[in-house]
Structure 1
Amino acid sequence: MKTKWIPYPTVLEGKNVDLIPLERDHFEELYEAAADKDLWTLIPTDCSEKPLFYQNYELALSEREAGNQYPFVIKHKKTGKLIGSTRFFEIYPSDKKLEIGWTWITKEYWGTAINLECKLLLLTYCFEVLQTNRVQLKTKDTNFRSRKAIEKIGGVLEGVLRKDRIQNDGTTRNAAYYSILDEEWETSKSMILKQIEEKQLPFHR
Structure 2
Amino acid sequence: MSPGSITLTGQHARLTPLTQDHLTGLQAAASDGRLWELFFTSVPSPENLTAWFTIASEQRDKGLALPFTVFDQIQNTVIGTTRYCNIDSANKRLEIGYTWYAQSYQRSAINTECKLLLLAHAFEILGCNAVEFRTDWLNQRSQKAIERLGAKRDGVLRSHMVLPDGRVRDTVVYSILKHEWIGVKANLEFKLKRAASDIST
TM-score, normalising length: structure 2: 0.91
**Which residue of the other structure, out of 64, 71, 80, is the alignment partner of 2:67?**
71
- Local SS of the residue matching 2:147: helix
Aligned-CA RMSD value: 1.7
Instruction: Give yes or no for contact 2:25–2:79 (8 Å, CA) kept in 1.
Output: no
**1:27 paired residue number:** 23
Identify if the C-alpha distance between structure 1 residues 179 and 31 changes in structure 2 by more than 3 Å, giving closer, same or farther.
Answer: same
Output the amino acid matched with 1:68.
Answer: L
- Local SS of the residue matching 2:35: helix
In the TM superposition, what whole-angstrom CA distance separates every residue of 1:21-56 from its partner, at most 9, and x where no partner exists?
001111122122223433551545341242x22111
Identify if the C-alpha distance between structure 1 residues 43 and 70 changes in structure 2 by more than 3 Å, giving closer, same or farther.
Answer: farther
Unaligned runs of 5+ in 1: none
- Local SS of the residue matching 2:44: coil
Instruction: Give yes or no for contact 1:112–1:199 (8 Å, CA) kept in 2.
Output: yes
**1:189 paired residue number:** 185
Following superposition, the deviation at residue 105 of structure 1 comes to: 0.5
Identify if the C-alpha distance between structure 1 residues 147 and 177 changes in structure 2 by more than 3 Å, giving closer, same or farther.
Answer: same
Instruction: Give yes or no for contact 1:37–1:46 (8 Å, CA) kept in 2.
Output: no
Following superposition, the deviation at residue 152 of structure 1 comes to: 1.4
Divergent runs of 4+, >4 A: none
**Which residue of the other structure, out of 34, 37, 42, is the alignment partner of 2:34?**
37
The sequence identity of aligned pairs, in percent, is 34
Residue 163 (str. 1) matches residue 192 (str. 2): no
Superposition pairs of residues 1-205 of structure 1, within 5 angstroms: 5-8=2-5, 10-35=6-31, 36-38=33-35, 41-50=38-47, 52-200=48-196
Q: In structure 1, what is the Cα distance between the partners aligned to 2:59 and 2:45? A: 21
Identify if the C-alpha distance between structure 1 residues 82 and 201 changes in structure 2 by more than 3 Å, giving closer, same or farther.
Answer: farther
Q: What is the aligned length?
A: 197
Q: In structure 1, what is the Cα distance between the partners aligned to 2:154 and 2:54? A: 31
Following superposition, the deviation at residue 137 of structure 1 comes to: 0.1
Q: In structure 2, what is the Cα distance between the partners aligned to 1:74 and 1:44? A: 17
Following superposition, the deviation at residue 66 of structure 1 comes to: 1.1
- Local SS of the residue matching 1:199: helix
- Local SS of the residue matching 1:188: helix
Instruction: Give yes or no for contact 1:152–1:191 (8 Å, CA) kept in 2.
Output: no
Instruction: Between 32-41 and 136-145, report the one with greater CA deviation.
Output: 32-41
TM-score, normalising length: structure 1: 0.90
Following superposition, the deviation at residue 14 of structure 1 comes to: 0.7
Output the amino acid matched with 2:14.
Answer: D
Q: In structure 2, what is the Cα distance between the partners aligned to 1:78 and 1:46? A: 24
